[in-house]
Amino acid sequence: MNSFLSWVGGKKALREEVVRRFPLRYDRYIEVFGGGGWVLFHKPPRRDFEVYNDRNGLLAGLYRCVREQPEALMDALRYALNSREDFGRIKTALAQDSPASEIQRAALFYQLIRYSYASGLKSFAAQPHDIRANFPLIEQAHRRLKDVVIEDQDFGLLIPHYDRPSALFYCDPPYHDTEGYYQNIGEDGSTETDHLRLRDALLAIQGKFLLSYNDDAFILGIFYGMMSGRRSS
């Protein structure tokens, strides 16, 4: 099935290639940098324990509302206006953390994603879009997420917490030299130190991992020796 939202760096075009590389045997699946969740939603539901994580607390909160209160979320979105003025007010409200309830925050954040240019949250897209057309996707996502654990933890805490010999971690971190794209409402972005921390965290796991990255000299330099000594499947 499709994700209910688009997101910077989403794996919509590559989701089939990613899932094809999963190992045959695992009983817990952890999506460490969840974003738009394209791999999770494309992955066939099975009897494994599933975790969606994203460090952006607003994004994780939106997922929780879709899982727990989809009708209330859709009611809050029903009269949303696709306008530059409303877009500016939403950015200000979320930046100031002023919405009073979780549903209000989730509805405003969903509008910001849908009405921004390339889902980047920063500038108004000025494109026609009826947000009510997404309601069937929200309902489908609600059903898919009903047994998924939703977290908003730093990967350094999340990975050891869920690690088991039977675990599969899918990691699609912000790519090197693109970290600024993710420095936005709800998160602080990442640094080169975070790439090193991720490498060290994956070196220590008992389970398996699948890692998506850009073809970058820095990344190849820190991961090459690791990959030559250990394979993910």
The whole domain housing 63 covers 15-229
Q: Is 126 helix (H, G, I), strand (E, B) or coil?
A: coil
The answer as to whether 6 is a domain residue is no
Tell me which DSSP letter residue 30 carries.
E
For residue 202, the model assigns a pLDDT of 94
The answer as to whether 2 is a domain residue is no
- CATH number, domain with residue 46: 3.40.50.150
The answer as to whether 201 is a domain residue is yes
For residue 102, the model assigns a pLDDT of 93
For residue 7, the model assigns a pLDDT of 79
pLDDT along the chain (233 residues), means of 10: 79 88 94 93 87 94 97 96 93 81 94 89 89 94 95 96 97 79 61 89 95 85 67 44
C-alpha to C-alpha distance for 174 and 179, rounded to whole angstroms: 6
C-alpha to C-alpha distance for 154 and 143, rounded to whole angstroms: 26
C-alpha to C-alpha distance for 146 and 36, rounded to whole angstroms: 17
Tokens representing 153?
A: 């933890």
The answer as to whether 185 is a domain residue is yes
Backbone angles phi, psi at 187, to 5 degrees: -155, 165
The residue ranges of DSSP E strands in 124-185, in sequence order, are: 149-151, 167-171, 183-184
Backbone angles phi, psi at 29, to 5 degrees: -120, 125
The answer as to whether 163 is a domain residue is yes
Q: With beta carbons less than 8 A apart as the criterion, state whether 179 and 189 touch.
A: yes
Backbone angles phi, psi at 46, to 5 degrees: -145, -165
The answer as to whether 3 is a domain residue is no
How would you classify the pairing of strands 183-184 and 187-188? antiparallel
What residues contact 111, with CB distance under 8 A and at least 6 apart? 77, 80, 86, 87, 90, 131
For residue 233, the model assigns a pLDDT of 41
How would you classify the pairing of strands 208-211 and 167-171? parallel
For residue 232, the model assigns a pLDDT of 43
The answer as to whether 1 is a domain residue is no
What is the number of structural domains in the chain? Answer: 1
How would you classify the pairing of strands 28-31 and 49-53? parallel
For residue 207, the model assigns a pLDDT of 97
